Amino acid sequence: MQSKQKRVLNQLLGSLKVQDSKRLIVVEITHKYENAVSVNLYVGSKTFQGIELPWKNNERNVSQIPRGTYAWQKITRQSNGKPAIWIRDVPNRSEILIHQGRYPHHSKGCILIDGYEDFHDYVENKGLIVLL
């Protein structure tokens, strides 16, 4: 992780009063494409790559998650019994998750990580997510 990113994460940990760095997920857009947005997810000392859908005015099932700070917690998805992170209290949205996926068509407004299991095993059970 670059030193600037590490400084920002440490500042966020302090200002948000998060005691464990594995409870804070920071999402940074790295590139915008026509049908997807690539993102880095920073947790503690690790970086995970993911994708989101592009911004479409926060429309359900087709838009990127609004930038902001939200609570999250680990869940088991009712639809398929697989693990996911539920991003709570997203304005005008429901069931926003971080879950396994590789392509934009695998998402209905969630953050996808190919190799999600490593991410899920690394983070704590709940915390805060900051979408920059």
The predicted structure's pLDDT at residue 21: 79
Provide the whole-model pTM.
Answer: 0.88
The predicted structure's pLDDT at residue 44: 86
Number of domains present in the structure of the chain: 1
Asked if 83 and 74 count as a contact pair (C-beta separation under 8 A), the reply is: yes
The predicted structure's pLDDT at residue 91: 95
Q: Whole domain around residue 53: which residue ranges?
A: 3-131
The predicted structure's pLDDT at residue 9: 66
Q: Pick the closest to residue 119 from 103, 95, 101, 99 (CA basis).
A: 99
Q: Six-digit token pair at 13?
A: 């940990």
How far lies 44's CA from each of 4, 56, 59, 73, 107, in Å? 14, 30, 31, 16, 26
* Tens-binned pLDDT, residue by residue, of the chain (132 aa): 555 666 666 666 666 666 667 888 999 999 999 999 999 999 988 999 999 999 999 999 999 999 999 999 999 999 899 999 999 999 999 999 999 999 999 999 999 999 999 999 999 999 999 998
What is the dihedral sign for C-alpha 45, 69, 39, 23?
positive
- As a whole number of angstroms, the distance between CA 110 and CA 75 comes to 14
